């Protein structure tokens, strides 16, 4: 059964596609390889995926196109390239939508990119899922939807109507759009609120990547909010394991849902929302200490105030996820950071 993975050249998309290929599941990857960060890293991920596909004998097809191109999205769902030629794997029956314009602060500078990718692009995915009778849509949301909420840990039962960045607003919009499609078209859809994902092949705009690069170059690192920001750092392998398990269990209506007292976590429609986090939040300074230990370098720190669009703390309540799939993330941060450092040194030869 082919799985369509949008954002397959991205951080999470690469790791998910690799696991799917390793277990013998054909993958149809879709990515525009945009220059938000170095496209060479994205192409290196794709080269790794092709090596895995060749080694395992599992079909892999890659489409380089933008989700905002509705015709290209439609062609992929039909098992064709944008030019119309057939792709070397069956048409997809399940979809994991990970493609998005990422980055909280970038949304303050280039809002149009978020509208096109995260809203227009996602609407194309939903329409194709509807018309091609996709069995299950799993899509990436974000812990950022909790916005100005100060009640920790964040639970799917909490309201999420106070975003503090356009990125967060688009992710919340995705949840509402998917719920509407589930209601109108009986499309099983599951939204996953990821909490600060890190690990090998990570994004260069994320703190771990930036800190590692600066420390190895002998440069200071920028530490916002005086290092008092708290994050629920979640290792990539845990994220992928959870996504795979969720993919195998399509969303169903919540039989306990009461429209007179609507619970944000439930619905009469086949739509579900889950947090995916490590459930072990820690201050940024502790995260930096783990990196210092892994590198054997003491960071020179430049303390700066909280940035616009950032939240002070995140923490995930993952009890609903564990009840649904029998799994909860748990990789210790020190272990995950050490694995990232080992990959970084090997990949960049430093």
Q: Three-state SS across 323-337? A: HHHCCCCCCCHHHHH
pLDDT in tens, 70-102: 999 999 999 999 999 999 999 999 999 999 988
- Is the pLDDT at 107 greater than 90? The verdict is no
pLDDT at position 310? 82
Q: Say what the pLDDT of residue 226 is.
A: 83
> Which has the closest alpha carbon to 16: 27, 31, 32?
27
Element (H, E) at 6: strand 3-6
Contact 171, 187 (CB under 8 A): no
Q: Which of 167, 198, 235, 287 is catalytic?
A: 167
Exposure string for 123-159, b = 16+ CB within 10 A, e = fewer: bbbbbbbeebebebbbbbbbbbbbbebeebbbbbebe
Contacts of 110 (CB under 8 A, 6+ apart): 101
Secondary structure of residue 342 in the 3-state scheme: helix
Strand blocks (E) in 81-187: 94-97, 136-142
Please tell me the pTM assigned to this model. 0.96
Residue 132's pLDDT band (cuts 50, 70, 90): very high
pLDDT band at 68 (very low <50, low <70, confident <90, very high): very high
- Tell me the pLDDT band of 321, cut-offs 50, 70 and 90: very high
Residue 330 has pLDDT above 90, yes or no: yes
Per-residue pLDDT at 102: 84
Which domains are assigned to the chain? Answer: 3-196+235-279+316-330 (3.40.50.720)
| pLDDT reported for residue 228 | 86
Q: What is the predicted pLDDT for the residue at 87?
A: 94
Rounded percentage of the chain residues whose pLDDT exceeds 70:
100
pLDDT digits (tens, 9 = 90+) for 27-62: 999 999 999 999 999 999 999 999 999 999 999 999
Phi/psi class of residue 296: alpha, beta or left (left: φ > 0; alpha: ψ in -120 to 50)?
A: left
User: Band of the pLDDT at 308, cuts 50, 70, 90?
Assistant: confident
Question: Alpha-carbon distance 262 to 267, whole Å?
Answer: 8
Residue 104 has pLDDT above 80, yes or no: no
Q: How far, in Å, CA of 171 to CA of 166, rounded?
A: 9
- Name the nearest CA neighbour of 253 among 321, 322, 160, 190: 190
Residue 167 is a catalytic residue: yes
pLDDT at 106: 81
Instruction: Report in angstroms the alpha-carbon separations of 225 from 36, 282, 320.
Output: 25, 14, 31
Contact in structure between 330 and 235 (CB atoms under 8 Å): no
Task: Identify the band that residue 243 occupies on the pLDDT scale cut at 50, 70 and 90.
Answer: very high
| Residue 181 Rama label (left phi>0; alpha psi -120 to 50; beta) | alpha
């Amino acid at each position: 059964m082919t799985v369509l993975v949008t954002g397959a050249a991205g951080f999470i998309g690469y790791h998910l596609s690799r696991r799917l290929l390793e277990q013998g599941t054909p993958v149809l990857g879709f990515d525009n390889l945009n220059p938000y960060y170095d496209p060479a890293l994205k192409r290196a991920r794709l080269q790794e995926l092709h090596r895995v596909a060749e080694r395992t004998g599992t079909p892999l097809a890659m489409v380089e196109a933008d989700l905002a191109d509705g015709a290209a999205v439609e062609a992929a769902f039909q098992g064709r390239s944008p030019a119309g030629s057939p792709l070397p794997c069956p048409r997809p029956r399940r979809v994991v939508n990970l493609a998005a314009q990422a980055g909280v602060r970038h949304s303050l500078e280039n809002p149009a990119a978020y509208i096109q990718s995260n809203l227009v692009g996602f609407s194309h995915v939903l329409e194709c899922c509807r018309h091609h009778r996709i069995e299950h849509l799993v899509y990436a949301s974000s812990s950022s939807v909790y916005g100005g909420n100060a009640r920790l840990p964040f639970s799917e039962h909490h309201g999420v109507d106070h975003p503090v960045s356009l990125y967060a607003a688009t992710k919340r919009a995705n949840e509402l759009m998917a719920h509407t499609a589930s209601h109108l078209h009986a499309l099983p859809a599951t939204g996953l609120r990821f909490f600060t994902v890190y690990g090998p092949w990570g994004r260069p705009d994320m703190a771990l990547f930036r800190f590692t690069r600066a420390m190895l170059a002998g440069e200071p690192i920028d530490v916002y909010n005086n290092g008092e920001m708290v994050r629920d750092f979640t290792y990539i392998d845990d994220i992928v394991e959870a996504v795979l398990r969720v993919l195998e269990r399509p969303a169903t209506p919540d039989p306990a849902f009461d429209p007179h007292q609507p619970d944000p976590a439930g619905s009469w429609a086949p739509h579900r929302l889950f947090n995916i986090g490590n459930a072990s939040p820690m201050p940024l300074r502790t995260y930096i200490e783990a990196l210092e230990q892994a590198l054997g370098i003491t960071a020179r720190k430049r303390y700066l105030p909280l940035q616009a669009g950032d939240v002070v703390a995140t923490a995930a309540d993952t009890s609903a996820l564990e009840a649904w799939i029998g799994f909860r993330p748990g990789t210790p941060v020190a272990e995950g950071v050490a694995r990232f450092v080992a990959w970084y040194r090997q990949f960049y030869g430093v």
